[in-house]
Amino acid sequence: MQKDKIDFIVDLLADNRIEAPLKEKVSDLATKELKRIFSVESENRERILEIERKMLNLKNESTSNTPTNNTDEKPKNDTITPPNPLHTKNFLAYFRDSEGLKYLTHDYKDLANKIPRETLLSIAKKEFDEAKRKNPDVYSKLLRRVEEFAFKEKPNWTIRKGKKETTINLGWKSKEFIDWEASSLVHPCMDSVWNTKMIEPFKKTIEVRDGMLLEIIEETISLVFSKEDLDIFVINYDKTNLLSGRFFTDVDWFGQAIYKILSGTKKKAEKNGFYNISIEYKEVFENNYKCLKIIHLDSKPNRSSESNDLISGDFKDIRSVLWSLCNWAIEAEFSNGFRRKYLLWDTNIKETSFEIPKEEVKGFTHLLLFY
C-alpha cells in the first residue's frame, strides 16, 4: 500500500489539470509524510526525490516565459532567467570567511581558547539568517542541509557517493555530539572520529575541493560506462588538471548533473558513432568563471541553436538539477553556424546566444560555469 501511495502522489503531480499552487501544497505535505515513513528505505527515498524533482520542474516551467537577459531577443518558452547561482556561492562562502558558520567546520581561531558551543551556534544562526536574507535564491536543499547539520536537535541530512545515499543523524545540536563536546578541549575537526563521521562528510557536500572533482568524474564514468563500453569509448582527461578543481556548490546535485550529461552523451554516441569524450577544467575562464567542459568530440546537433525544442528530454532534467548551482551553456556546430547557447544564465551573462570561431569548437560541448 505504501508504494501505491507514492505512485498516487507522483501521478497527481504529473496531472496537467491540477494548478501549480495546489501541486506545491500536495508536494510539501506528501514529502514530509513520506520522509517520516520511509526514512531508511533507499528505494522509497528515490521515489521521494522523484516527487521533489517534479515540483522543481513545475516551478521552473512556471517561470519559463520570463524575459531573457538578451534584450535583442524576444522571450522564448525554452529559455528562462534562472535563480542567481552567485547566491549559492556567496551563501556557502560564509563557511570560509565568517565568525560563526566558518567555525562549524574549521578549527577555532584561537587554538588555546575553545568557543563555547552555544555561543558559537548563536553567532552562526545570526550569520545563517543574514546569508539567507542577502542571498534569497540560494539552493533550497543546501539551506535544509545546513540547518540540519548546525541547528537541529535530531538532524537528518544525506550525502551521496555514486548511487549510494547515506543518511547522517549527527550535528552540532545532536545529543551524541553534545555529550562528546562537553568534555572535549578540541574542535571536532581535530578529532579523528568526529571529523570522519560528521565534519568531513558535511564539508564534502558544500564544496568541490582537495581532488574531489577528479573523484566525482571518475566515479561517474564508472557508473555510466561499463567495462565493455570503455573498450569502445575513449574518455580523455588530465588528472592533474581535474585535481585543481575548487568551487562552492551543492556537490550531491552537481554529481547528478555530471551523471546526466555523460549518460546523454553516451546515448548520442551510440546513435552517431562518435565515441571520443574530453573533460577539462579551467580555474580561470572568461570573466573569472571557473569552467568545467565536457566535450563530445566531432559530434554536432542537427538543429539550430534557436530551436524551440532545445530544452527537452535529458536537457530539461539537467537544467532542473543545475537550477541555481551554475551558469550552463553549450557550444557546437549548429545548423545556423558555430555558436554558444546559454541554457541557464544570470544577469552577469550579457549575451545568451552568439557566434564563436570555428576553431574553438571541437564537438558538442557542455560548459558549466561556477563563481
Residue 39 has pLDDT above 50, yes or no: no
pLDDT digit string (tens) for 148-159?
999 999 999 999
**28-42, 90-104, 341-355: lowest mean pLDDT where?**
28-42
Of residues 320 and 173, more confidently modeled? 173
Residue 368 has pLDDT above 80, yes or no: yes
Domain residue spans of the chain? 2-62, 85-207, 212-370
pLDDT band with cut points at 50, 70 and 90 for residue 6: low
Of residues 140 and 79, more confidently modeled? 140
Average pLDDT over residues 347-369: 96
Q: What is the 3-state secondary structure (H, E, C) of the chain?
A: CHHHHHHHHHHHHHCCCCCHHHHHHHHHHHHHHHHHHCCCCHHHHHHHHHHHHHHHHHHHHHCCCCCCCCCCCCCCCCCCCCCCHHHHHHHHHHHCCCCCHHHHCCCCCCCCCCCCHHHHHHHHHHHHHHHHHHCCCCCHHHHHHHHHHHHCCCCCEEEEECCEEEEECCCCCCHHHHHHHHCCCCCHHHCHHHHHHHHHHHHHHHEECCCHHHHHHHHHHHHHCCCCHHHCCEEEECHHHHHCCCEECCHHHHHHHHHHHHHHHHHHHHHHCCCEEEEEEECCCHHHCEEEEEEEECCCCCCCCCCCCCCCCHHHHHHHHCCCCCEEEEEEEECCEEEEEEEECCCCCCCCEEECCHHHCCEEEEEEEEC
**109-113, 212-216, 255-259, 274-278: lowest mean pLDDT where?**
109-113
Q: Give the pLDDT confidence score for residue 19 in this predicted structure.
A: 58
Average pLDDT over residues 39-67: 47
CATH code of the domain occupying 212-370: 3.30.565.10
